[in-house]
Amino acid sequence: MRYLIISDIHANQAALASVLADAGSFDLIWCLGDLVGYGPDPNECIDRLCDLPHFSLAGNHDWAALGKLDLTSFNSDARISSIWTQTELTQASRAYLDDLPTHVTKGQYTMAHASPRQPVWEYVLDPLIAQRNFTYFETPFCLVGHTHVPVIFYQSNDNPERCRTLAPPYNGPIYLEEINGRMILNPGSVGQPRDGNPYASYAILDTDAMTWEHRRVPYAIEITQERMRARGLPPRLIERLDYGR
């Protein structure tokens, strides 16, 4: 099976369209949550995903858009965009988001929006936090999103007391059967990358070849920005798309 692995679309329809066009053929999408929030196209992104074979988790912004969590934990721009999203979601979109789980295990892969320890909230940004999380799942691989930074955390079988951070290779796939260890893999964000690269970020997992491949693709940022402007969304959220920060 060939899986398209995406996360943190954040209602950015132009970015999602570019990822789908770039990905080639796939059997199934695994989406790690945060379909909405920040961006101008929440219903359009949900509808597009629902047209395709997919499985999705819920993220903190999906919960916020449903009123399932307290917005005081959000910064003011995130809060404004979340309140806008609440008013914008159709009944069907709300029902769809409301049904999504926050974590799941499928075969060799555990998935959580944020972390296996705290599926909705924790940011796995460094090897110390990643190391603690390896005890919270039993499969060889865990897929997470939430940070908007594509990265791999690697724990070797020879030294399970330590965890290493690997920058995502863009020159070819990783062969998962050769790694002699376990990994927490983050495909980065489709709709709001924060690693200094504004291109949409995603990954391809091939469970026959047992390969994982990080990918980036440019998209029409100015279309998303124009749609955000037209909806009165916060200027800082519009500008940051240019920089991928």
Which is it for the CA torsion 126, 124, 37, 220, positive or negative? Answer: positive
Q: By C-beta, is 34 or 122 nearer to Zn ion?
A: 34
DSSP character string of 87-100: HH--HHHHHHHHT-
DSSP state of 168: P
DSSP state of 27: S
Nearest residue to Zn ion, by Cβ distance, number only:
34
Q: By C-beta, is 60 or 131 nearer to Zn ion?
A: 60
Q: By C-beta, is 61 or 182 nearer to Zn ion?
A: 61
Q: What φ, ψ does residue 148 adopt, rounded to 5°?
A: 70, 15
> Counting beta carbons within 10 angstroms of the beta carbon of residue 1, is it exposed (0 to 12), middle (13 to 18) or buried (19 or more)?
exposed
Q: What φ, ψ does residue 69 adopt, rounded to 5°?
A: -140, 160
Q: By C-beta, is 34 or 213 nearer to Zn ion?
A: 34
Residues 6+ apart with CB under 8 A from 96: 46, 50
Query: At CA 126, angle to CA 65 and CA 150, rounded to 5?
Result: 60
**Residue 217 CB, nearest approach to Zn ion (Å):** 18
**Residue 109 CB, nearest approach to Zn ion (Å):** 20
d(CA 15, CA 220): 7
Q: By C-beta, is 8 or 195 nearer to Zn ion?
A: 8
**Residue 123 CB, nearest approach to Zn ion (Å):** 10
**Residue 100 CB, nearest approach to Zn ion (Å):** 14
**Residue 138 CB, nearest approach to Zn ion (Å):** 26
189 near 8, Cβ under 8 Å?
yes
Q: Which residues bind Zn ion (CB under 5 A)?
A: 8, 34
**Residue 202 CB, nearest approach to Zn ion (Å):** 14
Which two structure tokens, joined as six digits, stand for 48? 């597009």
Q: By C-beta, is 15 or 179 nearer to Zn ion?
A: 15
